[in-house]
Structure 1
Amino acid sequence: MITRTRMARWAIAPAGIAVAAVALSACAGDTSDTAPTPNADLPQDIVFAIKEDAGCIDPQQTSVTTALNVGRQLTDSLLDQDAETGEIVPWLAESWEVSDDLTSYTFTLRDDVTFSDDTPLTSEVVAANFDAIIELGGAASLAAAYLEGYTGTEVVSDTEFTVSFDTPNVAFLQGATTMSLGILSEASATATAEERCAAPIGSGPFVLDSYVANDSIVIDRREGYDWPSELRGHEGEAYLETITFPIITEASVRTGGLTSGEYDVIQDLPYIDEARYTTDEYTLYAKANPGVPNGFVVNTEQGLMGDETVRQAITMGVDREQINVIAGSVSGSAPTSVLTSSTPGFTDLGDTLAYDPEGAAELLEADGWELGSDGIYERDGETLTVAVTAFYAQDVLEAAQQQLREVGIDLQLNMVTAGDFFGVIASGDYEMLGAGLTRTDPDVLRVLLSVDSPSRWGIVDDAELEALLQEQRETADADARQEIVDEIQQIVAERAYVIPTLETVQLHASRAGVEGIAFDSASRLNLYDTVVTSE
């Protein structure tokens, strides 16, 4: 069997950004469940302005960051992951074992956990959750990706169960730390998708009070909560009594409300405002998303994307440092690999991804392309025009568009709605996608590129890469897996199957006097330790 210690050898590489979250002085285990709330004489209520309607607050169904930030407060997971070291630690499950072939995972649950409807956490409930995710299908795409190859959950006892897969699933253990596999009550797991979206029932430190679409979400402290993971800063109930999330879509209104004191915390501080709020009156919270950075994910079966020379020239023609400046994030850094710097297994490939416009021109001209009178390369009557389909980060795409024009490549932008974006993926009718994919494991590259992945976005025909993607999936030894992951990153970068442009940084702000806001390993917020220390 693979021990917990052995599996925990994955470590997150330094993110290269400043995380300004203020930590409470207490460490897990240092305070008892009877310890008083710090500054209990102050109202422990905050107003946290979020940028959009959550749409669905069932963590197993949603992929919207805003909804996940709310859902984390309602829902616990089997395991937790240290955002700095990558170590996997117990949470709802107090221990686990993994088969040598990575096809079965046996967990032992805590026996003192209840959901907010007062029903107990049991192995049967966990099995019902995982079975429901499979039944939800596309409605639970993120969660289902972690359960790829799922064949069922065997219930051994009320507290012991085994999750099995028909092929090795090395990423499942990390998946068990995510909100996407957060555990809901049996009533929620067996409810309709719509019912779950509106009012999921979890075992978390907060419970849903109300959700009014396009207006606000309110959550209240759960009485009797006493099963945080060891990564949290205290034990017992959450410090905050109530969190109100008004839905404020205009960034300027959110920042204005923070300045005036109407809001205690705001989601997504615009990068351009970062310096203005870097004062003693505010606290900034910044963390890069793990996974594949924002960039171009190619379909080699469309247009000129089957031409490796063209793909490599695009890679050389993108000035990532300049894009990072244009994006305006002081906390961010330019991507130097096809994994973000906050992802376990990240390897710095700065030389491979270096900006080299002269090299791009030499590469294209050696392959028969000639610069036309309009400054765009041509060959055999064909113009070097490529297209990217996206639904966000238009400013980043426009910057890349200008940079590529300067090296003779005509990049066309196809901006669509989020719904249409996923429709395009389903049809396969795209040359490149402008997107990133958040997952806290290097298996994210297999999810994005493998021919057998249900979440495949990058369409490539590369037997060498496919073999390596599958090999890392089946490799339990951390050092051996890292060697394979290193090779995968090198191939993906050199052959330009993913062309990174920007590491997306989650950037939030609070007024001074609100402390203890923390990021989890997927750059989502955990407010269990949050406390009001001054008005």
Structure 2
Amino acid sequence: MIRGIRKKLSLFLIVSLMTASMIGCSSSTSEGDKEGKKNDMLVIATANDIGDLNAHGYSPMYGQNFLYEGLTTFEEGEVKPALAEKWDVSEDGKEYTFYLRKNVKFTDGSQLNAKVVKKNFDAFLKNKDAHSFLESVNLMESVEVVDDHTVKIKYKESYYPVLQELALSRPVRIMAEASFPDDGDTSEKIKEPIGTGMWKLKEHKAGEYAILERNEDYWGEKPKFKEVKMVVTPDGDTAVNALKAGEVNMIFDVESRLSPDAFNELKSSGFKTQVSQPLSTVSLIVNATDGATKDLKVRKALQHGVDKEVISEHVFYGLQEPADTLFDKNVPYCDINLAKYEYDLEEAGKMLDEAGWKLEEGKEYRSKDGKELELGFYYDGDNVIYKSLGEVLQSEYKKMGVKINLESQERQALIDKTKSGDFDITITETWGDPYDPHTLVASMKNEGYADYQAQKGLPMKKELDEKIGKVIVENDEKIRQDLYTDILTTLHDQAVYLPISKTTRLVACDKDLEGIKFNTLYYIPIEEVTRESK
């Protein structure tokens, strides 16, 4: 009996030791798993679905940046090598020879080579009209394969921003051979999104989310997180609530809509927040072609009637500084002396009087020939910040007898109205690096843009377009600077643009995330984002 008890005790001790050992191992593994899983997935709120991820199309830029790369990239204010490790430029500036990195793989395992680069360029050149806002595409003449890892691109004219525009998110990114439809035409659709970038598509439920996984064969430095999930949250309130509930880890104000008041609320609630340096300029476009704003005196009166300090404080909560010029002085060729339009209601009233718009006793708004001075402010109805801006403008302009009607529009409807010139005032934003000033200025000659429609009524529009045509192909730095000075001074003096503020981007996220940075206006640079070790 004693022997039986001893046998049971021995068995009990063995089981106990084994259990303790297993518990110890389990505890150790859990800690290791916890450490290992801290960078498993980053969840980001985004207002827009990732789209079809066609490298040559116009789905949201953040997805194209995640999956695809170009020959060059633009970081920290300068062009840097990407899929091309170096390049040569001919003396006349019309030929660029690119030397591709070797041993770069697409995420399907196929190799990057000159043949597939040419196939990509040939594909978007077939659809050149869709990309005509890019002068480098308009001027591109041919793409030649020199050898397996060398490509030569020829241009009709020299164009100084070629390397910058080759860094753009679209349409000059490179897809794998397997992405192309059988007929090679990528203008409508592709078979599947396959790039050389840091991420590859793992799962996509249209209108809900997309999951991207890290490209373990990436040629450069890999992201810290293994996966990133982009959750579609159409409005800012939804995104903020999702962050508070722990359903997302980050709101990055590029494809999401993070209002300044929500940003400050999250900051006070203990979330980590960051503000970028100024990346572009928010301006009003005032139609100089039709209606009351065709009169220069009216346009100048509008310039003097805006208190930008009030807008900075009450619309942007101090997160965006007032702007006085279309492009900031730190933008190349834009450091020129332009007279500031001071806030001066008396001067504004005098100009409106001279234009024939009188404020009769007992009336709220000015009139001329029996017609009230009323202007429509057209804006994207999904953008609560622009709605707030319109409300401030409405209040400010009422002081000088100008009636502002807020015209909320669906995005496509707004695009259609501005393309046709059917607006009084609308809102715009310069394009930032690597577009400014050349790409935006070049687009001013394009009838499909609000800029052209607003400017076409200017008496010097023909001469202005001629100067724009010259500046983008001019090789002489002094002549180029003189042309930019003339163009920007004319637009400023003609009061076509009413600069409002210097654009910043906002981020709110879990307090243990670090490595957040800002690059260009449309990029979500999360490759260095990681969780702090406890």
Q: Same fold (TM over 0.5)?
A: yes
Change (3 A) 1:250 1:387: closer
For the Cα contact (< 8 Å) 1:290–1:341, is it kept in 2?
no
Q: SS of 1:96's equivalent?
A: strand
For the Cα contact (< 8 Å) 1:282–1:509, is it kept in 2?
yes
Match of 1:232 in 2: none
Change (3 A) 1:478 1:220: farther
For the Cα contact (< 8 Å) 1:296–1:432, is it kept in 2?
yes
Q: Gaps (5+ residues) in structure 2? A: 1-34
Match of 1:224 in 2: 217
For the Cα contact (< 8 Å) 2:442–2:468, is it kept in 1?
no
Q: What do residues 496-517 of structure 1 show as CA deviations (whole Å, max 9, x unaligned)?
A: 1222233333212221222223
Give yes or no for the alignment of 1:157 onto 2:154.
no
Q: What do residues 300-346 of structure 1 show as CA deviations (whole Å, max 9, x unaligned)?
A: 33223331111111111122222222223443211221024674444
Q: SS of 1:411's equivalent?
A: strand
**Structure 1 residue 432: deviation in Å?**
3.6
Change (3 A) 1:431 1:103: farther
What amino acid maps onto 1:46 in structure 2? Answer: L
Match of 2:38 in 1: 42
In 2: Cα distance, 1:176 partner to 1:60 partner: 12
For the Cα contact (< 8 Å) 1:288–1:332, is it kept in 2?
no
For the Cα contact (< 8 Å) 1:281–1:512, is it kept in 2?
yes
Q: How does 1:454-469 map to 2 (within 5 A)?
A: 456-460=452-456, 461=458, 462=460, 463-469=462-468
Q: How does 1:100-249 map to 2 (within 5 A)?
A: 100-136=91-127, 144=134, 146-180=136-170, 181-189=172-180, 190=184, 192-193=186-187, 195-196=189-190, 199-227=192-220, 235=221, 237-249=222-234
**Structure 1 residue 81: deviation in Å?**
1.9
What amino acid maps onto 2:148 in structure 1? Answer: D
Q: How does 1:398-413 map to 2 (within 5 A)?
A: 398-413=391-406
For the Cα contact (< 8 Å) 2:89–2:95, is it kept in 1?
yes
Change (3 A) 1:294 1:152: same
Give yes or no for the alignment of 1:57 onto 2:56.
no
In 2: Cα distance, 1:297 partner to 1:251 partner: 26
What amino acid maps onto 2:219 in structure 1? Answer: D
For the Cα contact (< 8 Å) 2:438–2:472, is it kept in 1?
yes
In 1: Cα distance, 2:423 partner to 2:345 partner: 25
In 2: Cα distance, 1:353 partner to 1:135 partner: 45
For the Cα contact (< 8 Å) 2:442–2:469, is it kept in 1?
no
Give yes or no for the alignment of 1:302 onto 2:290.
yes
Change (3 A) 1:299 1:138: farther
Change (3 A) 1:348 1:394: farther
Match of 2:444 in 1: 449
Change (3 A) 1:41 1:301: closer
Give yes or no for the alignment of 1:347 onto 2:335.
yes
**Structure 1 residue 225: deviation in Å?**
0.8
Give yes or no for the alignment of 1:387 onto 2:376.
yes
Q: Flag the structure with more relative contact order, 1 or 2, with Cα contacts below 8 A and sequence separation at least 6.
A: 1
Q: What do residues 220-274 of structure 1 show as CA deviations (whole Å, max 9, x unaligned)?
A: 01122123xxxxxxx3x32211111121224233223333433221233321033
Match of 1:91 in 2: 82
Deviating more after overlay: 371-380 vs 488-497: 371-380
Q: Gaps (5+ residues) in structure 1? A: 1-38, 228-234
Q: SS of 2:341's equivalent?
A: coil
Residue identity (%): 23
**Structure 1 residue 478: deviation in Å?**
4.8
Match of 1:10 in 2: none
In 2: Cα distance, 1:241 partner to 1:385 partner: 55
Bigger Cα Rg: 2
Q: What do residues 382-415 of structure 1 show as CA deviations (whole Å, max 9, x unaligned)?
A: 4333334332422212222221222222233332
**Structure 1 residue 290: deviation in Å?**
4.2
Change (3 A) 1:341 1:75: farther
**Structure 1 residue 174: deviation in Å?**
1.1
What amino acid maps onto 1:509 in structure 2? Answer: A
For the Cα contact (< 8 Å) 2:419–2:449, is it kept in 1?
no
The count of corresponding residues between Structure 1 and Structure 2 is 481
Change (3 A) 1:476 1:82: farther
**Structure 1 residue 442: deviation in Å?**
0.7
In 2: Cα distance, 1:497 partner to 1:406 partner: 22
Change (3 A) 1:43 1:413: closer
What amino acid maps onto 1:495 in structure 2? Answer: Q
Q: Which of 364, 378, 396 is the matching residue for 2:389?
A: 396
Q: SS of 1:376's equivalent?
A: coil
Match of 1:336 in 2: 324
What amino acid maps onto 2:81 in structure 1? Answer: P
Match of 1:430 in 2: 423
Q: What do residues 59-102 of structure 1 show as CA deviations (whole Å, max 9, x unaligned)?
A: 53226xxx22233121122112233xx22111111122334554
Deviating more after overlay: 378-387 vs 412-421: 378-387
For the Cα contact (< 8 Å) 1:47–1:264, is it kept in 2?
yes
Deviating more after overlay: 400-409 vs 40-49: 40-49
TM-score, with structure 2 as normaliser: 0.80
TM-score, with structure 1 as normaliser: 0.80
Match of 2:4 in 1: none
Match of 2:32 in 1: none
What amino acid maps onto 2:527 in structure 1? Answer: Y
**Structure 1 residue 203: deviation in Å?**
0.6
For the Cα contact (< 8 Å) 2:419–2:448, is it kept in 1?
no
For the Cα contact (< 8 Å) 1:472–1:485, is it kept in 2?
yes
In 2: Cα distance, 1:100 partner to 1:318 partner: 49
Change (3 A) 1:431 1:446: same
For the Cα contact (< 8 Å) 1:148–1:169, is it kept in 2?
no
In 2: Cα distance, 1:474 partner to 1:262 partner: 50
Change (3 A) 1:418 1:480: same
For the Cα contact (< 8 Å) 1:290–1:339, is it kept in 2?
no
